[in-house]
Amino acid sequence: MRCDHCANDVPDGVFCTRCGAHQGKTAAPAEAKARVNRYAAHPSEHVIQPSIFTTIFPHLGHTKIHEFRWGFAVGLAGILVLYIAGLITAALLVAIFLVPMLYLIYLYEAQVYRDEPAIVLGFTIGGGAVVGIVLTVLERIVYNPYQAIGNPLHNAGIGVGALLFLGLLVPVAQEVLKPLPALFLPNRADFPETVDGLVFGIAAGLGFSVAESLVAFSSALTSLPPHLTPGNWIYDLTTLAVFQPLLQGSATGMIVAAVWRYRRGRLASREIGGVAVAVIAHIAFALGTQLLKDAQVAPLVVLVWQAVVVGAVLIYVRYLLHHALLEEAAHMGFAETVCPNCHMHIVASGFCPNCGGALTAAPASLKRARKPRAEAPTRAKT
């Protein structure tokens, strides 16, 4: 059949395998092409939905995503158990490493780095960590809020200068410097797709997050007794385990993805908006957290604020990635493959004709296993 949107001859299917448009006469053409109710990296979800895993782990199908959700849940439960047992130092360490470790497993699982694990991991996670150490140590030299041993967030009121430094200057400096290692990736030409850029950026942001948290909590980690009464640590632990890494990762992911788009000559208001959202969200996160703590509101309110900011960033990441995947649908040749999302055996080019998932976001092992087929077969094999 001939696709109404890209005018290519494509196999029968619910979605066009070349351009990803929804085939069907019911929706308006622009709607069918943009298909915002079918997020290209994970078609069972809407684009506007603050999911963590289908956003920052775009290469994984249903089943794998579930395994990662479980891993995350088990990690959080472990932190809770350590916290209740009063093993705060151990809980802090698990919280700092939980999301970055899951990301490392994801990079391995999806083989995002293809044949160059050392270079890619070094320039993303490793580079981010180096930037994180240097920057956080410098920040501490300029302004050290933790004079006393113990809960570092019991600082009674900070001045305007410190507030602007922590809430404005630090977030902007971090967003400028965090993406640099990923941008200087020497073999970046091997990874032309924006989804790769996004993942590399997230990895760099998570490397940064680990280093930042370790330096920031170094005094607590080294001086706390191994066992103490749990106290208020649960709020800090939640920020450290969930919101801090998600903010740092997705903000940098968005900035690196925008640069990837720029290199492809596709920089538009959507990408510039992405950079703006990353910086503004980081400022909102840092400044809002400081102001709320200064106002002595309930710690739960601070967590809600952080969740709102992170949710907004995740939605923008999805919006950016969805349109990048649709626009960058290269003709990969018709090939027999298995859809990582719906697990159907399909003959496809850029998108699964059955569920509409973008196959550029398939794990590398699946891409290698594609069996080339003659041009334009008559029917999708299901």
Q: How far apart are CA 330 and CA 156, in angstroms?
A: 56
Chosen residue from 11, 13, 16, 32 binding Zn ion by CB under 5 A: 16
| 302: exposed, middle or buried (Cβ count in 10 Å: 0-12, 13-18, 19+) | buried
Q: How far apart are CA 150 and CA 135, in angstroms?
A: 23
Asked if 214 and 96 touch (Cβ cutoff 8 Å), the reply is: yes
Binders of Zn ion: how many residues, by CB under 5 A? 14
The verdict on 110 binding Zn ion (CB under 5 A) reads no
Q: CA of 95: how far to CAs of 71, 218, 240, 271, 316, in Å?
A: 13, 14, 6, 31, 25
Count of helix runs (H) and strand runs (E) in the chain? 16, 3
Chosen residue from 3, 34, 317, 321 binding Zn ion by CB under 5 A: 3
By beta-carbon proximity to Zn ion, the closer residue of 8 and 218 is 8
Q: CA of 19: how far to CAs of 26, 264, 349, 376, in Å?
A: 18, 18, 9, 14
Q: How far apart are CA 332 and CA 341, in angstroms?
A: 18
By beta-carbon proximity to Zn ion, the closer residue of 14 and 105 is 14
The candidate with the shortest Cα–Cα distance to 257, out of 323, 210, 309, is 323
The verdict on 38 binding Zn ion (CB under 5 A) reads no
Binding to Zn ion (CB under 5 A) within 113-152 occurs at none
Neighbours of 94 (CB within 10 A): 21
| Pattern 314-353, Zn ion, x by CB under 5 A | -------------------------x-xx---------x-
By beta-carbon proximity to Zn ion, the closer residue of 4 and 67 is 4
Minimum CB–partner distance for residue 354 and Zn ion (Å):
5
Chosen residue from 11, 13, 15, 18 binding Zn ion by CB under 5 A: 18
The verdict on 87 binding Zn ion (CB under 5 A) reads no
By beta-carbon proximity to Zn ion, the closer residue of 357 and 363 is 357
Q: How far is CA 254 from the centre of its chain?
A: 8
By beta-carbon proximity to Zn ion, the closer residue of 18 and 178 is 18
By beta-carbon proximity to Zn ion, the closer residue of 95 and 339 is 339
The verdict on 250 binding Zn ion (CB under 5 A) reads no
Chosen residue from 1, 5, 101, 291 binding Zn ion by CB under 5 A: 5
Chosen residue from 6, 267, 332, 364 binding Zn ion by CB under 5 A: 6
Chosen residue from 245, 354, 363, 380 binding Zn ion by CB under 5 A: 354
The torsion angles phi and psi of 303, rounded to 5 degrees, stand at -65, -40
The verdict on 355 binding Zn ion (CB under 5 A) reads yes
By beta-carbon proximity to Zn ion, the closer residue of 194 and 341 is 341
Minimum CB–partner distance for residue 41 and Zn ion (Å):
12
Residues 6+ apart with CB under 8 A from 290: 158, 163, 166, 167
Minimum CB–partner distance for residue 323 and Zn ion (Å):
15
Q: Apex CA 181: angle with CA 176 and CA 184, to 5°? A: 105
At what angle are helices 269-294 and 299-327 packed, to 10 degrees? 170
By beta-carbon proximity to Zn ion, the closer residue of 42 and 178 is 42
Query: By the criterion CB under 5 A, which residues form the site for Zn ion?
Result: 3, 5-6, 16, 18-19, 21, 339, 341-342, 352, 354-355, 357
